[in-house]
Each structure stands twice: as structure tokens, then as C-alpha cells.
Amino acid sequence: MPKVLISDDLSQAAIAIFKARGVEVDYMPELGKDKAKLKEIIGAYDGLAVRSATKATAEIIAEAKNLKVIGRAGIGVDNIDIPAATARGIVVMNTPFGNAITTAEHAIALMFSAARQIGAADVSTQAGKWEKNRFNGVELYAKTLGVIGCGNIGSLVAERALGLKMKVIAFDPFLTPERAVELGVEKVELDELLARADFITLHTPMTPQTKNILSAENLAKTKRGVMIVNAARGGLVDETALRKLLDEGHVAAAAFDVFTEEPAKENVLFGAPNFTATPHLGASTTEAQENVALQVAEQMSDYLVSGAVTNALNMASITAEEAPRLKPFAALAEKLGAFAGQLVDEGLQEVEIEYEGDVAGLNTKPLTAAALAGVLRPLLQEVNMVSAPAILRDRGAPLAETKRAASPTYDSLIRIKVRTAGGWRTVAGSLIAGVPRIVEVKGMSLDAPFSPTIVYVNNLDKPGFIGAFATMLGEAGINIATFHLGRTAAGEEAVALVGVDQRVGDDLVEKVKALPQVRYVKVLSF
């Protein structure tokens, strides 16, 4: 009988589900704060169910000799070392949609608190001061709310704000015009949102692209009197810069549920005028905790008892029978998706996936999910192979699949196309001797491996480019591992995929862009 350890405070409903499914369970919530004890006993368990207190580090995972699955009751997995778990063959699952409504409601509550200074007014009133004139608030009615990140939670916030008769504008690279119309929001670029919004609320994951999205520079672009709410992730806002603007009165109020460092025993924002803080309560309702507990218990039980995989962050949903055949194609699809996703510089509008040859006769659903996870992951790191299709649907980006029984050149070929404001980006690949290879970019044939770092260049096929490019890399101390070229015809459009051994800095990218033959440059990571 499989055995699961619950090491965080989790609803008792989870215990009942595990037992009903034939899974033995030990409920020891105190272990979330006792790393030494957890490390000592984790080797006896097949599954580990956690919330946020337990830190499933590489050190803990190294002692988990029998562990097969880690389930996170919630969406954030910052407390789980996913690479370490993957290396040990441990599936990591989360419950990405169980607390969306609760978090959206908390964001709205924080907005009201900022607008009406509820926290400060409560402290003042209970101190017997009765300062009616001090706490003169503002209405939400007819104000403009800027939503940064209009996915699952952001769209719920927008829906509720519209019910309050607010005007809602949204910045989200993945939000299509059609989905914006469906939601009743106006899709705008970030600078326009900053200039127009009376209130700003953030609902994005923490990624390299979103870290400090409200930087000092961007905060300075906001209108005087703006109010800012963050119930998403700490680090999305430059807290020091925000404190300065609160002190100066440029930002009229702010309300945060999350902070760069948590637990936030102290923070530069604490004590600022018109600042409200809550201790990461976004998911802290009875309903949300019940939902995520039920979901994580069901998902973990299904995996331990039958091998079914749901909401896995580090593997596709593939049945035991399909796994041997689909696994290499899933790896190919995800890598191709990652290639295409890293080229989405101007917002994702549409995705097309084509299957040719033998692969078209397989179950392509997990392959498509793997491809979409690759496409979305550069901006949404917490996306997984199960949630990726739903996330794409939430943003209204159409997905089209085509299958052809024959491929002109290869036994099997997968082609991924993504449409952005700048046009279509296309890449295709195949398995050659069982290894994923890139065989086509922008319709141009070539044959290149997925090196860990690839410099992708779209250029004109003119003399001097290769020499100048290689010289630049050499002068920067960057070693060329592989160099593969494709072109439409002599003297016309061409592409180069150059695998390198060292990091390529932004300054070098700008130098390459300045070459007269070059149209586009991007450093890709795999």
C-alpha cells in the first residue's frame, strides 16, 4: 500500500480521500518547520503533500529514497526544488486553479482598503480618536483599473471590477483582442496602462520578464494619485521606489499581500502613509483551502494507485501504455515550443501545430500540451503540460492542429507556428536516431541540435556576414560549438543557428544586430 506524508497544515478532507483511495497517510503538520525531522523520516514515504511551510529542498529530496510524487496544495512551487525532484524521477504536482476566486476577492478587498483607508481608520477609531476628516477616501465607481496580467485570476478581478462599474484596461502579452472583448476590458500596452490607471493591480507570476515590472522607472510613469495593489507575487514591484513615491504623495495608497522577502517581519513599506499590508492571505479562505486539499489528495492518489498524472509540472500526462512511444516526441515538441515561445516578443495571438508522418497517427494531445508548455514557459514559468492548454484558452489565443499521414522528408515531423503582432514565427523538428533536431526555421531547411544556448540570427545571405559574426563571438571570448545555416536562395533570406559554450551578453547582441546583413537576433536557452 502506498504511503503519503502530509507535512503541512492541510484540510482533514485530504486525509479522508487518501484513505478512501487505498493510500496510507501520516498527518504531521509540524514537520513543515522541522527540516531535520523531515529529512530523517522522508525515506519511508511514496508521496509528500505540502503547502508553503515545508521546503522540499535538494537536501530533503536526496533522502527521499522511495518518493514518487510531491503534491503542492496551491499554485506556487517556490518551496520545491523541481530540478532535484526531476533528477530523482519524482513527479511534482500543484493545484493551479483551486484558489483563484479567493485570491481575486482578496485583491478587490485590498483595493477597497486602499481607497477608503480602512486599516488606518480602524486603528484610529479603536484608539478613540474619531478622525472623520482625516480619512477622506475615493470611490471606485467610474475609476480606471489597470490589470497587469489578465489570465485566470486577473480576468476574475476584471469581472468583479466591471461589476463595480469601473473601467478596466489590461496589459498581458498573451491576451488577444478577441478575449479582451469577451471579458469587457480594453487591451493596452504597459506604458498606456501606467499613464491612464487610477488603480493598478498585479496578477502575473514571478519570471525574469515580470520581476520589478513596476520598477522605479515605470512607477514614475503613473499618474499622480494612483493606488497600487499586489496580491500576486513579491518582487513584482520595486518596494524602495514605491516607498519614496508614497512618502512624496505621488502614489496615494498601496495595499500588498506579498513581499520580496517572506515572512515579512520588516519591510521598507511598513509605516508608509496610506499603506495596507496582509500576511499573504490571498488563498486563505476555508473554501480555497478545502478545494486545494481535495485536489491534491485526488491527484496524488490517482498517480500512486493507477499512474495517472494530472497538473504535473515536470512531466506530461501520458498513460503507462503510451509512454515509451510518446516520450521522445514529447521532448521534441516541448523544445520546439520553447524555441517558438522565446521568439514571442510582441504578444502571442495564435498557435498552430502540425504533425506529419508516423507521429500523426499517435495520441497527439500530450504532445500538443508539451509544445504549449514550451511556448508559454518563457513568460509563465509555473505553467505545466496539463494547465498550458487551459491557460492558452483563458487568453483567447486560438489553437489549431493539423495532421498529415505522410512527411516529404522525414518519418515524423512536428512544426510549430506562433503568430505575434510582428507576424508568424515557424520552427519544425524531427527525431533523428531518436534525438530531437531542428530541421526547419521560417520554412528554410537545416539540421541543428538543441544546444543549451543557441544564437538565432535571421539575415540576408550576403558575403561577409559569417566572418564578421564569428569574429565578434571570438573577440567576446565565446566558443562556437555548432554552426548551422539555412537559406531560401543564394543572396536572399537566411538563418543561422549557432550553438555556443558561454553566455552571450546584451552588448554583443546589439553589436550583431548592427551588422548590415542582420534582420533579427535572439539568444535562445534550452
> 131, 262, 475, 492: which is the annotated catalytic residue?
262
Q: Would you state the cell numbers that stand for residue 68, as one nine-digit string?
A: 514518487
Cα 80 to Cα 91: distance, rounded to the nearest angstrom: 11
- Cα-Cα end-to-end distance for the chain: 39
CA distances from 356 to 42, 211, 322, 439 (A): 45, 39, 19, 13
Outline where DSSP puts E strands in 267-409: 275-277, 350-357, 399-404
Q: Answer whether 185's CB lies under 8 Å from 132's CB.
A: no
Q: How distant, in Å, are the alpha carbons of 26, 297, 495 from that of 483?
A: 55, 49, 11
Q: Does an H or E element contain 256, and which?
A: strand 251-256
Catalytic annotation, pick one of 280, 415, 419, 437: 280
Place of cell 503519503: 4
SS3 assignment, position 436 = strand
For residues 62 and 44, what is the distance between their CA atoms, to the nearest angstrom?
Answer: 13
Grid coordinates representing 122 are: 480602524
Backbone phi and psi for residue 157, each to the nearest 5 degrees, phi listed first? -65, -45
What would the grid cell of residue 65 be? 529514497
Angle at 60 between CA 54 and CA 63, to 5 degrees: 140
* Cα separation, 483 vs 485, whole angstroms: 7
Among this protein's residues, is 492 annotated catalytic?
no
Rounded distance, CA 224 to CA 222, Å? 6
Number of H helices, E strands in the chain: 17, 22
Catalytic, out of 233, 395, 419, 425: 233
Neighbours of 291 (CB within 10 A): 23
Residue carrying the nine cell digits 520580496: 260
For residue 262, indicate whether it is catalytic: yes
DSSP letter assigned to residue 189: -
520 forms bridges with which residues in the sheet?
Answer: 458
Phi, then psi, of 165 in degrees rounded to 5: 65, 35
Cα dihedral 202→207→209→214 (10° resolution)? 30
The residues pairing with 226 across neighbouring beta strands, listed in sequence order, are: 251
* Catalytic-residue membership of 280: yes
Q: Which three cell numbers stand for residue 16?
A: 479522508
Catalytic residue positions, numbered:
233, 262, 280
